[in-house]
Amino acid sequence: MSIPTQLKYTKSHEWVKSESDGTVTVGITQHAQELLGDMVFVELPKIGRILAQKEECIVVESVKAAADVYSPLAGEVIAVNSELESSPEKINQDPYHAWLFKLKPANIADLESLLDAQGYEKALESEAH
């Protein structure tokens, strides 16, 4: 499984992409979608919602289970990928492009506290044991 090196990650399987305008884009990883199986429903947060780091902000439901998605950083929700409401399967098909929401971080420096691809790979390995 290849983990894109340009992204940051959390142990709870979110990916974070740092945009040039200082915002970040958030999705869930290949590993997360594999664990959950076919997605059937996504409940997105409201635009403008202020999130704390690690706050539950999205529910994704697959054929198998409901799972919470946590905000990787503190900040304000500035966009959501509403296409996923009608086509949740896009998360299965291409998890690193099927983004969930965009965040204006309260402190962009917090990005450095997240895992890089190598760190995430190690986290996955230790989870498997």
Partner 1 sequence: MLKITPLNQAHRDMNAKMVDFGGWDMPLHYGSQLDEHHKVRQDAGMFDVSHMLVVDIEGENVRNFLRQLTANNVDKLTVSGKAIYTCMLNPDGGIIDDLIIYFLSESWFRLVVNAGTADKDIAWITLQRDQAAPDLEIKPRRDLAMIAVQGPNARAKVWQVISGAQTVTENLKQFQSATFDQYFIARTGYTGEDGFEIILPANEAVAFWKKLYAAGVAPAGLGARDTLRLEAGMNLYGQDMDEATNPLESGLAWTVDLKSERDFIGKQALLQTAIKRQLVGLLLLDKGVLRSHQKVMTQHNQSECEGEITSGGFSPTLNQSIALARVPVQVAIGEEVHVLIRDKKLAAKVVKYPFVRNGQILI
- Sheet bearing 75-80, strands edge to edge: 8-9, 14-18, 24-28, 101-105, 75-80, 50-51
Distance CA 106, CA 40 (A): 32
Q: Which of 4, 6, 19, 41 is the binder for partner 1 (CB under 8 A)?
A: 41
Residue 63 makes contact with partner 1 by CB under 8 A: yes
Question: Given the rule CB under 8 A, which of 34-42, 70-78, 95-103, 105-113 is the region that contacts partner 1?
Answer: 34-42
The residue count of the chain comes to: 129
Residue 83 makes contact with partner 1 by CB under 8 A: no
Give φ, ψ of 44 to 5 degrees: -90, 160
Residue 38 makes contact with partner 1 by CB under 8 A: yes
Residue 59 makes contact with partner 1 by CB under 8 A: yes
Q: Compute the least distance from the CB of residue 86 to partner 1, in Å.
A: 10
Q: Compute the least distance from the CB of residue 38 to partner 1, in Å.
A: 5
Helix (H) or strand (E) holding 77, with range, is: strand 75-80
